[in-house]
Amino acid sequence: MAPAPILAALLLLTVRVGVGRGVAANAPPPTTGWLRGAHATFYGGADASGTMGGACGYGNLYSQGYGSRTAALSTVLFNDGASCGQCYKIACDRKTDPTLCKPGVTVTVTATNFCPPNSALPDGGWCNQQRPHFDMAQPAWEKIGSDISTGIIPVIYQRVPCVRRGRVRFMINGHDYFNLVLVTNVAGAGSIKSMDVRTSDSTDWMPMARNWGANWHSMAYLSGKRLSFRVTITDGQTLVFTNVVPAGWTFGLTFASKLQFK
């Protein structure tokens, strides 16, 4: 198995409902054909408790709605966190070794973590810089692998649109002049291309920058102001979440919108 990824601190957050208005571009869903040459290991235990946190910053994957159908991606797939939230359909590659596979079964996982190269091995191991590899939550791996004692299976995979329950959510952490916004529960492409913020006392959109994983930051003073977000995901869809964060907000809260990507 690949080494256990570093887990982020879990946050217990209160959810509030905001108001939004959407403008969606007509864009095709993020699908690819089946790709070969990858492998899958597993981590996190039978209950997937060891997968919480992770390099995308989602925290408790159960409370965030991702559950145990998740995976840590190798370097080439993780793309420095730009792939956080993407969904992949995975099947065991019976053409390579049918004895390792459950026949006719696929599982769809969300990218929630990074599987780093193993510096103790000359080639970096399964999660080296070049190999496409999925270190899956154990319950997800068991859906397609026939024998857990093997530890690793060859797989085929394809990028697919994400299907989510509920709407997009925004979690705000940080402090004055450093606003760290975690965007979760994103359907469609699942991953975010760009993000802007606007306060209720301005007509100007201020660009945000990816900080790490699915966290985006702004260095402007936003504390307590009513906020809107404009989010573009990697298939080109854009939604405007108008006044999703009410005036008087404080750090450490999550705000649920009324919008979702297609």
In a domain, 261, yes or no: no
Please give the share of the chain, as a percent, with pLDDT higher than 90.
87
My answer on whether 213 and 148 are in the same domain is no
My answer on whether 89 and 196 are in the same domain is no
Domain that holds residue 212: 169-256
- Is 11 a residue whose pLDDT tops 80? no
The CATH number linked to 138 is 2.40.40.10
- Phi and psi torsions of 75, nearest 5°: -55, -45
The per-residue pLDDT for range 173-199, each reduced to its tens digit, is 999 999 999 999 999 999 999 999 999
Contact assessment for residue 171 and residue 214, using Cβ atoms and an 8 Å cutoff: no
Per-residue pLDDT, averaged over 109-113, amounts to: 98
The per-residue pLDDT for range 201-242, each reduced to its tens digit, is 999 999 999 999 999 999 999 999 999 999 999 999 999 999
pLDDT in the model for residue 2: 46
The H-or-E segment that residue 140 falls in is helix 138-144
Q: What is the mean pLDDT of the chain?
A: 90
Dist. CA 216–CA 218, nearest whole Å: 7
In a domain, 78, yes or no: yes
Q: How far is CA 63 from the centre of its chain?
A: 14
The per-residue pLDDT for range 148-181, each reduced to its tens digit, is 999 999 999 999 999 999 999 999 999 999 999 9
Helix, strand, coil distribution of the chain in percent, nearest 5: 10, 40, 55
My answer on whether 220 and 182 are in the same domain is yes
Dist. CA 188–CA 165, nearest whole Å: 12
My answer on whether 156 and 227 are in the same domain is no
Q: Which residue has the tokens 């997009």?
A: 168
Closest by CA to 152, choosing from 169, 167, 172, 131, is: 131
My answer on whether 73 and 150 are in the same domain is yes
- The Cβ of residue 14 has, within 10 Å, a number of other Cβ atoms equal to 9
Total domain count for the chain?
A: 2
